[in-house]
Structure 1
């Protein structure tokens, strides 16, 4: 049996545009004199284009047919546009005044790609062409296989670009789930597939315009990737080894062949606080892959790839919180004047800074005041409690005094502070009227 195969181009499937192609439907012949006959067509033996490559079907009505010409006689302008079905459809009615000669019957076919999900494969029906009427002649063969060849393809963008996770607020370091970033990637395909991802390096590269004590060493495995909205998605830590993002069932051919995949990158809270504290940009190249299921048509491997980048951008952030707003040192007994007074303030300050930092303290007034009476600021010492490292002890002044110098970036560091007036300074309290003497104290990262 003769055969006609229409190969649908990938471009038409992706753009959902009609595809037009002409083919020879048979040879017209006659015995005496021929006038233009009535020519009809229909599909026989099947009610759809049936897959010959693994199941499924395509409805007959995707095919629209017109009679283009017989031999050299152009008929496209007078032919009916018919939708293929199992019912006989008249392409053209006989015209008594039109004579023609024997020759090939050329059919103009138009395939409507919109509103159809095309799965790679070959789909076949049997097409019948008949000529009827007085002195109509015949078309041979009377029927032939009529097939649609749907190509297998996976088509992502040429480049994915850069996905940025912006850490521009300290609240991200306190959120149970850490922080997420998304990359939305459009994809067109006619085959089921498994998406995967891999990184170009085992560690993030680091760059910064901010000061830093040491260059961070951050493994890419600190970032987990998954597909949001995909039922059988799996999560994978980034690696230089390709990591599948679904189970082995993969993702079916999407409705109308086009879809968007949302890649979600997560940095958990512990990883965030451990590996992404220093302000700067952490970057790594990524390779996205999409592999056809091995069981799907066509046989053999079919893969598409695209490159992109992932950047984690940490802003220069800082915060000082005084967990207790009031500090009271009481002189209630003669021993207090003799020995001095100490006050331990556990977790008095909470420090967060994404760059190396200095910590300063100063008073906003020139003395401790109680009405018209005053006590010099330098009676007060501020320093670390026992066991608190990396801190100096200073005498209070209106000039900013440095408590900490060049400490590494940190999130929510608690500082245990010791406030004291030593015995050597209690003499400045003698002969002062009783009362509460106060001053405002400011802690800061910079010396104003």
Structure 2
């Protein structure tokens, strides 16, 4: 029994390897030598080229890359023939004019690949089989080598383009303490890659580095865990956030290589209102560094690290208002003059402030007036409407500021119930004054401690 193994032999292989720079340009060319032509017993002839495939093959699979991306041109001595676009149809590489036809002997072929940016180039070795032959097959006519295997090698590449590595999160509105803080980074990171990639992230430190430029002795050296900050990332804006920590977590994954091989990555940050009130109710700058490792999950040697400097910047902010712009006390019975009077105002002082503070109260004038009559403002007392340790009792109002509320920490939507009163001893002294409506102006002020 005789066994004969028949296989296609390639006289010469052409291997075009593209690196990162060539992939980004989207084109490349190389000159390949070692071809021979013998016209044989015929006056004129020309060389033809054709591809066995319409599309490059990746092993045994057909890719999306048409062989028409490849251009061929013959060079012999000082003569360069026009480029042709490779196809499955026979196309003339040279002409058969007697004065310009290809001479017997050696010649070279320049291979040029174009327009790669129009495709998603996934790392692999792509190939096609190119046949070289004479138009007219005559005795002793030869074009060698033929067939030729042309390999196009797309390597695994990964190059992030960092537009800006410093991110500032401006918490500059009191409303964030009520509804939370969301921030989409106003720039994207582009990543050039030729394979599916993933990104993992972690904080370099477990707590924020806190600083403040100046201010209160009440300010603490804050130790806020980075887990109070959440982050998201990916090829589109989304609402899936992950807590920051020193442990490594998956941030995003790109399973498909895009056309042009460049993916845009969006990043966003979130702090919910509970964390803002419990951990960030103090002006200053909270800093941390986030490490993002972008990699090919199947090859540990292909990875790129990015470090983001994240700063949460919180200025001192205040919302301060009174629940009503006027108050009144009436002495209209003997019991009032005997026991005094008071009136309570629920939610009279409303405060939101992200720093320690105090509220003072004073009268603009030393007396209340009715026509030409007056009574001293010291007859009026101001304090809490019920037991409330946050509010001081001011026994006698005066033109000098007196501290009504003192707080060693900030508060959001703080509501204070205030009682205005005329104490019994003061009411006794008003029995003989002219009867009427006495008016004056009281000023409340809030200052940071």
TM range (shorter): 0.7 to 0.9
Query: Which aligned pairs between 1:160-171 and structure 2 lie closer than 5 A?
Result: 160-171=164-175
Could you tell me which runs of 5 or more consecutive residues in structure 2 were left unpaired when the two chains were aligned: 1-9
How many Å apart are 1:350 and its aligned residue?
A: 1.6
Comparing 147-156 and 99-108, the one that deviates more = 99-108
Cα distance in structure 1, aligned partners of 2:272 and 2:194: 36
Whole-angstrom CA distance in 1 between matches of 2:288 and 2:61: 41
Contact 2:348 2:417 in 1 (8 A): yes
Partners of 2:311 and 2:300 in 1: how far apart? 35
Q: What corresponds to 1:270 in structure 2?
A: 274
| Separation (CA, whole Å) in 1 of partners of 2:259 and 2:303 | 20
Matched, 1:105 2:114: no
Residue number in structure 1 paired with 2:316: 316
Q: Secondary structure at the match of 2:316?
A: coil
User: Is 1:119 aligned to residue 122 of structure 2?
Assistant: yes
Aligned 1:181-192 pairs, distance under 5 A: 181-182=184-185, 184-192=188-196
1:354-407 Cα distance to aligned partner (Å, 9 max, x none): 222121112233422334332211111122333312332223222221223452
Shift of 1:234: 4.5
Q: What is the CA–CA distance in structure 2 between the aligned matches of 1:420 and 1:53, rounded to whole Å?
A: 94
The separation in 1 between residues aligned to 2:144 and 2:82, in whole angstroms, is 21
SS at match of 1:273: helix
How far apart, CA to CA, are the structure 1 residues paired with 2:61 and 2:378? 89
Partner of 1:244: 250
The equivalent of 1:355 in structure 2 is: 355
1:65 aligns with 2:68: no
Q: 2-side partners of 1:293 and 1:235: how far apart?
A: 22
1:3 to 13, 17, 22: 13
Secondary structure, aligned partner of 1:429: coil
Post-superposition shift, 1:83? 1.9
- Whether the 8 Å CA contact 2:36–2:143 is kept in 1: the answer is yes
Cross-structure match for 1:417? 418
1:30 alignment counterpart: 38
Distance 1:317 1:215, change over 3 A: same
State whether structure 2 residue 408 is matched by structure 1 residue 407.
yes
Alignment correspondent of 2:374: 374
1:275-309: CA deviations, max 9, x gaps?
11111111101111222243xxxx56522211111
Contact 1:36 1:136 in 2 (8 A): no
- Cα deviation for residue 250 of structure 1 reads 4.0
Tell me the equivalent position of 2:148.
144
- Counterparts of 1:74 and 1:36 in 2: how far apart (Å)? 20
Shift of 1:262: 0.9
Deviations 1:52-80 (A, max 9, x none): 2977431212222222x23xx1333xx22
Q: Match for 2:83 among 78, 81, 84?
A: 81
Shift of 1:222: 0.8
In the comparison of the two structures, how many residue pairs are matched?
432
C-alpha distance in 2, partners of 1:97/1:445?
100
Secondary structure at the counterpart of residue 191 of structure 1: coil
Q: For 1:136 and 1:112, how far apart are their aligned partners in 2?
A: 39
Structure-2 residue corresponding to 1:219: 225
Aligned pair in 2 of structure 1 residues 435, 131: CA closer, same or farther (>3 Å)? farther
Matching residue of 2:4: none
Structure-2 residue corresponding to 1:256: 260
Contact kept? 1:199, 1:286, Cα under 8 Å: yes
Question: Which ranges of structure 1 fall in alignment gaps of 5 or more residues?
Answer: none
Instruction: Quote the residue 2:7 is aligned against.
Output: none
Q: Deviations over 1:73-111 (max 9, x none)?
A: 1333xx222222111222221342257452252324233
Would you say the 8 A contact 1:6–1:21 is kept in 2?
yes
Please say if residues 320 and 443 of structure 1, whose CA atoms lie closer than 8 Å, have aligned partners that are also in contact: no
In the TM superposition, 1:12-27 aligns within 5 A as 12-14=22-24, 16-24=25-33, 27=35
Distance in 1, Cα, partners of 2:411 & 2:237:
38
Deviations 1:243-283 (A, max 9, x none): 1124xx64421232112211111111111122111111111
Deviates more, 1:364-373 or 1:58-67: 364-373
Q: Is the 8 A contact 1:361 1:444 kept in 2?
A: yes
**Post-superposition CA distance 1:174-228 (Å, at most 9, x none):** 22x4332425222211111122221111111111114242122211111111136
Cα distance between partner residues in 2 of 1:31 and 1:20:
28
- Could you say which residue in structure 1 is the equivalent of 2:389? 389
> Which of 90, 93, 114 in structure 2 is aligned with 1:91?
93
